[in-house]
Amino acid sequence: MALLEILEFPDPRLRTVASPIKNVDGRIASMADSMLETMYDAPGIGLAAPQIGLLNRVIVMDCVKEEDATPEPMVLINPEITGSSDALNVHEEGCLSIPDQFAEVERPAEVKVRWLGLDGKTLEETFEGLWATCVQHEIDHLNGKLFIDYLKPLRRQMITRKMQKLKRERARGD
Ligand code: K1U
Ligand code: ZN
């Protein structure tokens, strides 16, 4: 398994709509393994394939944050939101592709999601709490959407400018 490079905003691949997986095979299982390894190493609680430059509809998550708790890695292939609660929840979000920037985002508190597992079988589950926030954030990545798109224009512009400056500094080798 290998650690993968995480793309950073404003990389245009983060704005691309990812394609569905047609065949769930060993290639997808090994990609999911590398994604989980990269997510745990970052560290993060989720990762979507476009963040590592693969424009396929695959996400991984593990929202168990306590250090001594049993990990609960999840791999969701072609995930779709099939239902959302009217009740909303505000959670502070970060993004491994927008380092060191955090903001409160309002989203449905519970979502029902359908996806394919690594065995190709269809699964459906209702997520709540941090899991609900995370699965919505990751599915947004598959549609080229980022958490900063939910912010007021001024805040979004400030984060965009910081990230553009960081990119220029890195290109100069600062
Ligand atoms: O998709 C990503 O960029 C990963 C992102 C997921 C996410 C975080 C918070 C709310 C919604 C979605 C992250 O994992 S950012 C890092 C992070 O939140 C974290 C890192 C270590 C421990 C706990 C949280
Ligand atoms: Zn993200």
What are 29-72's pLDDT values in tens digits? Answer: 999 999 999 999 999 999 999 999 999 999 999 999 888 999 99
**Does the CB atom of residue 134 touch ligand 1 within 6 A?**
yes
Beta strands per DSSP E along 72-136: 74-84, 88-93, 103-108, 110-116, 122-128
* Residue located nearest, by CA, to atom 5 of ligand 1: 95
Measured distance CA(25)–CA(53) in Å, rounded: 19
**Does the CB atom of residue 129 touch ligand 1 within 6 A?**
no
Measured distance CA(8)–CA(97) in Å, rounded: 4
pTM, entire model: 0.97
pLDDT tens digits, 76-118: 999 999 999 999 999 999 999 999 999 999 999 999 999 999 9
Output the six-digit token pair for 104. Answer: 């409160």
**Active centre residues (catalytic):** 138
Output the six-digit token pair for 48. Answer: 């979507």
Mutate to test the pocket of ligand 1, among 90, 95, 131 (most ligand atoms within 8 A of CB): 95
Beta bridge partners of 58: 77
Mutate to test the pocket of ligand 1, among 38, 39, 45, 159 (most ligand atoms within 8 A of CB): 45
Q: Would you state the pLDDT for residue 170?
A: 86
